Amino acid sequence: MTPPASAALPLPFPFAAIAGQPQLRQALLLAAVDPGLGGVLIEGPRGTAKSTAARALAELLTGAPFVTLPLGASLEHLVGTLDLGQALAGHQVKFAPGLLSRAHGGVLYVDEVNLLPDALIDSLLDVAASGVNSVERDGISHRHAARFVLVGTMNPEEGELRPQLLDRFGLCVRLSNIDDAASRQAIVRARLAFDADPQGFRADHADAQGALALALGRARATVADREALPYEDEVHAAVGALCMAAQVDGLRADLVMLRAARALAAWEQADTLTVAHVQQVADLVLLHRRKPGTEQSAAPSSSQSNAPRPSSGQGHGASGDKASTSASDGDTDWGAMPPEPVGIERVKPLRPLMAAAPTPKKA
């Protein structure tokens, strides 16, 4: 009796066919160009192409693995641990790789990252930023390369990440439900066409998919070249101005913004890194780091009008939109209600509950 053939894995939806989420596409491509950015955190409701886009990104990286970190994973499962089989059989101390080793060169996807234990998230973000996994436990001292595109998704309604961990993600995208009827219909038609004929749908987008993969490989090579994409002091000044206006903690935002702008310049095949590149990535870097009440100010530049504006509905736009409105219209708070006069009514005097003790008579 022959063993049953293993079921084939479902084909991924092509990245080139993802529509309606331009910021999501841009953030994932930038993280793929420079994995040292520290990953992408995607916040949004269910059914907004979070996991679909993450799986599709891995296909653009030739031969790249796609590894999922389950919620029930342990720290040993993530970073690796002692190979007990080898230790018991041959009395040898050998390292058993974890998910971080398997994800090297590909995409590590964490669904509902806000529900993971903080210890796992801390280790995960450390490796994502450094590109090296160090294990010192159970008699093992082991280090190995672990460079991957970290993609974490979460629904804010199910809980938030601690600010210390939130800041460790390089880029952040906040999605919203698509409220344009034509866009919704186009997305639904594309998904139905893919479900009906995955092979045919992928064939229709093969040229666009190949162009994306080629551009991604070229941009990664440019970023790896230290001599490529020089930039002037005005770029540093623009980054510092944006981060100080957002009142971010520390200097991680400055470093990530420069790397993200350089990745964008490499993707666009630019000769130099300019302030315009900084402006285009600023929202992705500062969205989850900006202190409440600070405005989304743009970097001082003559090309400020060329920077793309954030699309409506992206992010918890209440604070950012209100801040930008107040900045443009003065200090007037258009949502404030003027105080109303309240009449004063006369209240009867209160009497004590117990009568005062009688004054003793003189003898």
Asked whether 104 and 146 are in contact (CB, 8 A), the reply is yes
- List the structure tokens of 174: 């906040």
Q: Is 34 exposed, middle or buried (0-12, 13-18, 19+ CB in 10 A)?
A: buried
Point out the catalytic residue in the list 102, 191, 220, 252: 252
Which residues, including other chains, have CB under 8 Å from residue 199's CB and lie 6 or more apart?
A: 11
> Is 143 considered catalytic here?
no
Neighbouring residues of 284: CB distance < 8 A, sequence distance ≥ 6: 23, 26, 27, 30, 171, 172, 173, 260
Structure tokens at 51: 């996991």
Q: Tokens 């443009």 identify what position?
A: 328
Q: Do 106 and 55 meet the contact criterion of CB atoms below 8 Å apart?
A: no
- Residues near 222 by Cβ (< 8 Å), separated by ≥ 6? 228, 229, 266, 269
Q: Which residues are catalytic?
A: 252
